[in-house]
Structure 1
Amino acid sequence: MRCAPARRAALVPAAGLVLALAPPAAADGPVAPVRVAVTGGAFTGSVGIVRTAARSLYGGFRCAADGVRPTPLTALADADRRYHLGVRAHWDEATGDFVVTEIRGDAADGDKKWNAYVNEKKITTGPCGTAVKDHDKVRWTLEAATS
């Protein structure tokens, strides 16, 4: 019986491993390792596991579920810090939360918006109102805007 060839293991330099396991910058609460993916635009893929925590983000506004827990947006921000995804987001006074406007050159507009999913369920609160925990899967998807 023939067996499939073994996949080659990729070498990870010690410095890269430390970066992957290091807590996010300015973490001030629980840290959660989560898997982050981006879909729906020209750039689609899983960027891997990132460690995320609640903290202040774009423009200095705090992003924390229940005031202390990491969120889908902190996970995206940490993936951006590590993998240079070109994330753009701004604080929306009307909703009292952040709005993601661009990831890797794929921009939201009147017809499309960036939505977050946690463990394949679309979040029903803003991106800073939903908590993520260890081993959750966070996916940001560019999809048709609904009225």
Structure 2
Amino acid sequence: MPSVLARGAAPVTAAGLALALALAAAPPATASAGDVRVRVGVTGGPYTASVGLVITGPRTLFGGFYCAADGLSATPLTALVDADEQYGLGGVQARWDAAKQDFVVTSIHGDAADSKKKWNAYVNEKKITAGPCHTAIKGGDKIRWTLEA
């Protein structure tokens, strides 16, 4: 014999259940003002990766230095650090170069730069000429970090 709750309940269709579950799911991560969505890749060393959309924006990085092109825009380095945080690239390390007033990437996923190889950034397949915190990126850009001689 059905319970009182079952007798008074309305039938639920599969579409209704799917809608209820969709509404109950956690909301997607939202971007802050100045944030953009880009794709990030890592090549050149034993570790190679290409990740989905990365939400990135100007932010404080390693040791408290603010990284933003023109003080407002996301950069190749913020995209790399955010890709590591969002997709687990295995760690990003960089050092501050006081002479350049910018960061130099020293390691991605344990693949370290040395006297013969360094990490270079490309935006839409064009090698950047300014430092990684002085180069602005925009939504839809493809960012690639490559360990090169």
**TM-score using structure 1 length:** 0.80
Distance in 2 (CA, whole Å) between partners of 1:112 and 1:34 is 26
Cα offset for 1:22?
3.6
What displacement does 1:128 show? 0.4
Alpha carbons 1:36, 1:79 under 8 Å: kept = yes
Q: Quick one: distance in 1 between partners of 2:61 and 2:80?
A: 11
Which amino acid in structure 2 is aligned with residue 42 of structure 1? P
Q: Verify: 1:121 aligned to 2:126, yes or no.
A: yes
Letter in 1 for 2:40: V
Does residue 54 of structure 2 align to residue 50 of structure 1? Answer: yes
1:88 aligns with 93
Give me the CA root mean square deviation. Answer: 1.4
Which one has a larger percent helix, Structure 1 or Structure 2?
A: 2
More deviation, 95-104/78-87: 78-87
State TM-score, norm by structure 2: 0.79
Please list every run of 5 or more consecutive structure 2 residues that lacks an aligned counterpart in the other structure.
1-24
One-letter amino acid of the counterpart of residue 101, structure 2: G
Match of 2:106 among 82, 101, 107: 101
Deviation sequence 1:41-91 (CA, Å, 0-9, x none): 011121221010001101100100011100000000100111222100121
> 1:45, 1:69 → 2: CA distance?
24
CA-CA distance at 1:118 after TM superposition: 0.1
- The count of aligned residue pairs is 124
Identical-pair percentage = 65
Q: Mind listing any 5+ residue stretches in structure 1 that lack a counterpart?
A: 1-13
Which has the larger Rg? 2
